[in-house]
Amino acid sequence: MLSLLAKECNIGTVIYNDIYDVSARDAELIGKAIGEQADYYIPGDIDEVIDFLKNNSINCNAIANYDVIEHIYDIEEFLKKISLISNNNLKVFFSSGANPYNPFIKRKLIKYHQMCELVDREQLFGDKKRDLLEAYSKIRSKLIKSLNPDLSEDQVAYLVTATRGMVESDIKKSSK
């Protein structure tokens, strides 16, 4: 939505980025369909954006996003890399509806996170092929057991809990 708004406001060069390649392609299709597509669509993380900008000699002067910051795994590393996006003054706008001080939102998010952690889900319209449908705790349990087949069930259960919220590479480090 922000890239569409930016194009509508004649902001200048607009770059849409999403870590999910499917979402980047969908955004491009929507932009083409309504005649307000971004100038560039970059699938990938911050490193892919930095590489794209350098390879195309583009100097970015603003970043805007909504409901992204809460999904960034290593926020400190991400913020360090943002400085590589521009040689000038960079304006950065991050906003999120995931407000932990709003009791309604907090209850809703906790319920959703608990469901993802503990319950297998069925594929629904709008789910991406890369979306995990198996309970996250079950996925971590299988990974930990495959790395350490000699662990007891109690040890596996402990590691499943201790590695909640970690990416696979950090789970592997924690399970050695």
CA distance 65 to 53: 18
Instruction: Average pLDDT across each block of 10 residues of the chain; the chain has 176 residues. List them in order.
Output: 90 92 93 93 95 93 91 92 88 90 93 94 81 92 95 95 94 85
What is the per-residue pLDDT for 124? 85
Joined together, the tokens standing for residue 58 give 């583009």
What is the per-residue pLDDT for 15? 95
Distance of CA 74 to the CA centre of its chain: 11
pTM of the model: 0.80
What is the per-residue pLDDT for 131? 77
Nearest partner of 156 among 173, 137, 135, 134, judged by Cα: 137
Joined together, the tokens standing for residue 18 give 């999403």
116-138 b/e with 16+ CB inside 10 Å = b?
Answer: bbeeeeeeeeeeeeeeeeebbbe
Which residues does 135 contact at the CB level (< 8 Å), separation at least 6?
116, 117, 118, 119, 120
CA distance 39 to 101: 37
What is the per-residue pLDDT for 102? 92
What is the per-residue pLDDT for 46? 95
